[in-house]
Amino acid sequence: MPLFKSALEADKLLRIDFMIKDDKKFNNNGDHWGYARVVKKDGKFESRSKGPQDCISCHSEAKGSDYLFTHMQSTF
């Protein structure tokens, strides 16, 4: 990942990060993205409580590629 060199791929699932683009629901930051993270803690997955600012602080570095570090993946 050239834009996010410190990203690693683990051999087991420890967290899930995702973004959803929606100009009507997510415009608090001017980027139109909603961010979420779920982390595994004590064998259970829990929502991360730090809020979207934590995500935006890194994704702002990728503003030139619509805040994405990799290409957008197709959805259903």
**For residue 26, what are the domain limits?**
15-64
Structural domains of the chain, count: 1
Q: pTM of the full predicted structure?
A: 0.66
Specify the DSSP class assigned to residue 33. E
Q: What is the dihedral of CA 75, 23, 35, 55, to 10 degrees?
A: 130
pLDDT at 56: 84
Reported as a single tens digit per residue, the pLDDT across 24-62 is 888 777 789 988 888 888 888 888 767 777 888 888 888
Asked if the structure places residue 29 within a domain, the reply is yes
Asked if the structure places residue 6 within a domain, the reply is no
Asked if the structure places residue 10 within a domain, the reply is no
Distances (CA, A) of 35 to 11, 29, 42, 43: 23, 11, 23, 23
Asked if the structure places residue 24 within a domain, the reply is yes
Asked if the structure places residue 23 within a domain, the reply is yes
